[in-house]
């Protein structure tokens, strides 16, 4: 059972902007209806990849579709083949009959409205223009050619030669499914990809279960320890088992879409329908996804629809000689900070391209969803550059690109129409309300949004503020501050924080000690501090996660240094573009300790042995989003903190003392779920002077002592009645690089007390400095209570 989400319009801060929200939603609905009118559905509209590009076809427009299940459409003809009828516009396409016939010829099509002539050129024509490879122009700027089967074969390379009024140039087809780089010339070319046997899926029925996503963010190329570019196969055989053992249930792959510059981290995409060939073949990527599904791991990918590489020969820029075919004309079509091109989301053909791209990755590679990169850049004409979002009015002023918002809405409609179980995540730093609210609730429809204020909080604390001055109330606020109508992904750091020019969280904590003070046999105060706070930060972030949690590969064990891809400035070295797994695997190093802790933490929070007492205790204070909360000076800067347990009960939407005496909210151990499933963190105590934070999550109670030097003995904590408690996780365990100051076999018995004429139950705990405990309910003999 999951928590009931609030409605977007329940937020009182949105009262002045309700009509704008309704207007945006109405625009998206109107656009969706228009696009779906001919094909019959928005999902059928999103099939441009089955019409454009290079395909084998049967007689006429009949093709191969129907030979595979509905989750994998293959390369057959579709309703889009009716574009052969010149009078038809995209919005009015109708399906044509399909038969599973043996293919008789090749068909290639491209959209280039400004072109005056288009040729296929390749190693089959000595890279020369030949009349037999000249395309004919159809209506709407669509170009087409049909070729005998024996004119092209698997593995051959090709490009387009596009001519326009006053110029010409080589181009890679926009819908190319395989693009490779020549070792000799370093130039990219499309490749005929027609393996003799299609990939046979071994886990064809995988669907994402209703669970809390525990996301392992990874980059295929830099996942290996060797200096070089890793492959899909290496990742499948060497890294995927690590992820499964560590307990993560969702794999997020970066840089999958083809990009000409490796150092762009995959964010300057050139070929949107081709998986990066530097990592291997399409079949090898399918095998990776398939293997993950076999382990019960969902696979999502970073999808970049916010901008495109500016390259002309390799990408979409000036594809048909115009700067505005896919992108905005003039300065609006250029992203100066990213040195890239910005899509024009008003154009039907651009929507055709991008929405079909969403469908393609779901159908062809069976990805289970997407993390949409650069949403802030899309949503605002200023791209969010140099802007602090402090007021709700900024989400509704003329700087908002509502066409981009409509596209986000349409993309989520397509994705969830095809795969209702798919996950979509928005990377947005602005905090725009409704981005992760359902389409039916006037939202853009993303399932989750990145809680980007959480890493900002952690790095601010460890970089700018002395440990003694940490404000625990501020920390709790940032960890739990989220809108009640939207689901969020909590994280301490992603790849963003580790890129060259910055430091990972652990590197920030220990600095130079990361090089020579990571042996378990050597005592070092700076390392001890870093080890302790690294564990506390991750446990607090995961245990308070609203709906999902993310970690970038290697950061769970404090991978040293930064990420820096080979480039001229570093001598084209791969030294910093890899993961040193040998550090994690060496039990004599503290890296091993951090990895063991992360594994124990993930398994604890995802284990099915907790109750659902929190179900009725939804924390509805979270309508005050991070930026709006900063308008209240008492929230972030106040040092006024009550020091008694009772006075620090979270009364935003419920009263703890009431809940402890409400029989309907106790001991529902019969319906077992993980601690994160269908629950919200419930604050029990914040003591700023002692740097202590205590909260409940499901049947687990978490106690944190962030103080740099002061430990507490027999510290009383009010807890729900009904059972004793035992230690489920101890950050001070020597196995986790701690000092072993706490016995792990302790049982904490309930002690009734009378406070303010009311009986409450407490446990008394020894909590050393820079230590956290997770306690679980148990029977008197110490066994887990179920």
Which DSSP state fits 783? P
Q: In which element (H, E) is residue 319 found?
A: none
* Residues 6 or more apart whose Cβ sits within 8 Å of residue 200: none
Residue 247: both structure tokens together:
């307990």
Residue 200: both structure tokens together:
């046979």
Beta bridge partner(s), residue 701: 696, 775
**Token match 């040195």: residue?**
339
Give ∠ CA 325-331-335 in degrees, rounded to 5.
85
Closest CA to 249 of 209, 220, 190: 209
Q: For residue 667, count CB atoms less than 10 angstroms from its CB and return exposed for 0-12, middle for 13-18, buried for 19 or more.
A: middle
The catalytically annotated residue of 403, 427, 447, 732 is 427
| 214-219 and 250-254 beta bridge pairing | parallel
Closest CA to 258 of 267, 249, 247, 245: 267
User: How far, in Å, CA of 784 to CA of 786, rounded?
Assistant: 6
User: Given phi > 0 = left and psi -120 to 50 = alpha, else beta, which region is 559?
Assistant: beta
Beta bridge partner(s), residue 730: 773
- Which ranges in 511-652 belong to alpha helices (H)? 513-516, 525-543, 581-585, 590-606, 626-629, 633-636
| 105-111 and 115-122 beta bridge pairing | unpaired
Instruction: Tell me the CB-side half-sphere exposure of residue 280, using CA atoms within 13 A.
Output: 16
User: Given phi > 0 = left and psi -120 to 50 = alpha, else beta, which region is 706?
Assistant: alpha
Instruction: Tell me the CB-side half-sphere exposure of residue 497, using CA atoms within 13 A.
Output: 29
User: How far, in Å, CA of 262 to CA of 228, rounded?
Assistant: 11
| 105-111 and 53-57 beta bridge pairing | antiparallel
Catalytic residue flag (residue 29)? no
The overall longest dimension of the chain from CA atoms, in Å, is 96
Which DSSP state fits 673? B
What is the CB neighbour count within 10 angstroms for residue 464? 8
Instruction: Tell me the residue length of the chain.
Output: 786
Give ∠ CA 542-546-547 in degrees, rounded to 5.
90
What Cα–Cα distance (Å) separates residue 35 from each residue in 44, 46, 76, 111? 9, 9, 21, 18
Catalytic residue flag (residue 373)? yes
Give ∠ CA 542-544-548 in degrees, rounded to 5.
55
- Whether 533 contacts 462, CB under 8 Å: yes
What is the CB neighbour count within 10 angstroms for residue 387? 14
* Helix, strand, coil tally for the chain in percent (to 5): 30, 20, 45
User: How far, in Å, CA of 167 to CA of 164, rounded?
Assistant: 5
Instruction: Tell me the CB-side half-sphere exposure of residue 607, using CA atoms within 13 A.
Output: 16
What Cα–Cα distance (Å) separates residue 462 from each residue in 510, 559, 563, 577? 10, 17, 20, 25
The catalytically annotated residue of 50, 363, 364, 373 is 373
Closest CA to 704 of 764, 646, 767: 767
Q: Give catalytic residues, as residue numbers.
A: 373, 427
């Amino acid at each position: 059972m999951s928590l009931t989400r609030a409605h977007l319009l329940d937020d009182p801060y949105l009262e002045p902007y309700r009509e704008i929200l309704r207007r945006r939603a109405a625009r998206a609905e109107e656009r969706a209806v228009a696009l779906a009118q001919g094909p019959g559905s928005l999902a059928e509209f999103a099939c441009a990849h089955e019409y454009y590009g290079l395909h084998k076809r049967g007689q006429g427009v009949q093709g191969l579709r129907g030979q595979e299940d509905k989750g994998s459409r293959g390369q057959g003809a579709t309703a889009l083949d009716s574009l052969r009828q010149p009078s038809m516009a995209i919005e009015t396409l109708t399906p044509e009959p399909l038969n599973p016939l043996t293919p008789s010829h090749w068909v290639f099509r491209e959209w280039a409205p400004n072109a005056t002539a288009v040729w296929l050129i390749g190693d089959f024509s000595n890279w020369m223009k030949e009349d037999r490879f000249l395309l004919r122009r159809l209506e709407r700027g669509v170009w087409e050619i049909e070729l005998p089967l024996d004119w092209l074969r698997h593995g051959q390379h090709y490009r387009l030669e596009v001519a326009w009024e006053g110029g010409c140039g080589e181009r890679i087809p926009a819908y190319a499914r395989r693009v490779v780089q020549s070792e000799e010339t370093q130039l990219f070319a499309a490749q005929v990809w027609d393996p003799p046997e299609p990939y046979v899926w071994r886990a064809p029925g995988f669907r994402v279960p209703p669970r809390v996503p525990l996301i392992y963010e990874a980059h295929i190329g830099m996942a290996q320890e060797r200096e070089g570019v890793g492959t899909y196969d290496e990742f499948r055989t060497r890294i995927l088992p690590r992820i499964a053992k560590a307990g993560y249930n969702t794999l997020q792959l970066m840089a999958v879409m083809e990009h000409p510059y490796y150092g762009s981290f995959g964010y300057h995409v050139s070929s949107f329908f081709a998986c990066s060939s530097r990592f291997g073949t399409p079949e090898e990527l399918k095998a990776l996804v398939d293997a993950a599904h076999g382990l019960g791991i969902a696979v999502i990918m970073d999808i970049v629809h916010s901008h495109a590489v500016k390259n002309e020969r390799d990408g979409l820029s000036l594809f048909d000689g115009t700067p505005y075919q896919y992108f905005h004309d003039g300065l609006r079509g250029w992203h100066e900070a990213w040195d890239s091109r910005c899509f024009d989301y008003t154009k039907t053909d651009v929507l055709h391209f991008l929405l079909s791209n969403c469908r393609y990755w779901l159908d062809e590679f069976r990805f289970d969803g997407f993390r949409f990169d650069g949403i802030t850049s899309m949503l605002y004409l200023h791209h969010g550059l140099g802007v602090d979002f402090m007021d709700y009015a900024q989400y509704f002023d003329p700087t908002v690109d509502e066409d981009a918002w409509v596209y986000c809405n349409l993309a989520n409609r397509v994705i969830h129409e095809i795969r209702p179980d798919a996950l979509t995540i928005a990377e947005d730093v602005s905090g725009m309300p409704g981005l992760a609210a359902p389409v039916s609730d006037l939202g853009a429809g993303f399932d989750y949004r990145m809680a980007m204020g959480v890493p900002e909080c952690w790095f601010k604390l460890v970089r700018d503020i002395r440990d003694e001055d940490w404000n625990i109330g501020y920390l709790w606020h940032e960890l739990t501050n989220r809108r009640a109508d939207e689901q969020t992904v909590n994280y301490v750091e992603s790849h963003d924080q580790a890129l060259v020019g910055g430091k990972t969280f652990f590197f920030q904590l220990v600095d130079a000690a990361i090089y020579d003070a990571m042996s378990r046999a050597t005592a070092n105060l700076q390392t001890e501090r870093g080890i302790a706070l690294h564990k506390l930060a991750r446990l607090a972030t995961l245990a308070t996660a609203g709906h999902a949690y993310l970690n970038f590969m290697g950061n769970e064990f404090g991978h040293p240094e930064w990420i820096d891809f080979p480039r001229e400035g570093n001598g084209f070295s791969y030294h910093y573009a890899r993961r040193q797994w040998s550090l994690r695997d060496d039990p004599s190093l503290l890296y091993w300790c951090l990895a063991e802790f992360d594994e124990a933490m993930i398994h604890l929070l995802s284990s099915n042995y907790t109750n659902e007492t929190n179900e009725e205790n939804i924390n509805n204070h979270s309508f005050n989003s991070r930026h709006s909360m900063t308008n209240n000076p008492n929230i972030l800067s106040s040092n006024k903190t009550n020091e008694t347990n009772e006075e620090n009960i979270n009364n935003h939407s419920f009263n703890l003392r009431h809940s402890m005496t409400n029989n309907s909210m106790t001991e529902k151990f019969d319906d077992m779920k993980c601690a994160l499933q269908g629950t919200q963190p419930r604050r029990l105590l914040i003591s700023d002077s002692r740097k202590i934070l205590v909260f409940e999550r499901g049947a687990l109670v978490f106690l944190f002592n962030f103080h740099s030097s002061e430990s507490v003995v027999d510290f009383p904590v009010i807890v729900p009645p009904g059972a004793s408690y035992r230690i489920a996780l101890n950050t001070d365990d020597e196995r986790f690089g701690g000092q072993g100051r706490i016995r792990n076999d302790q049982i904490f018995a309930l002690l009734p007390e009378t406070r303010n004429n009311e009986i409450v139950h407490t446990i008394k705990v020894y909590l050393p400095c820079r230590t956290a405990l997770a306690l679980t309910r148990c029977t008197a003999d110490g066994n887990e209570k179920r």
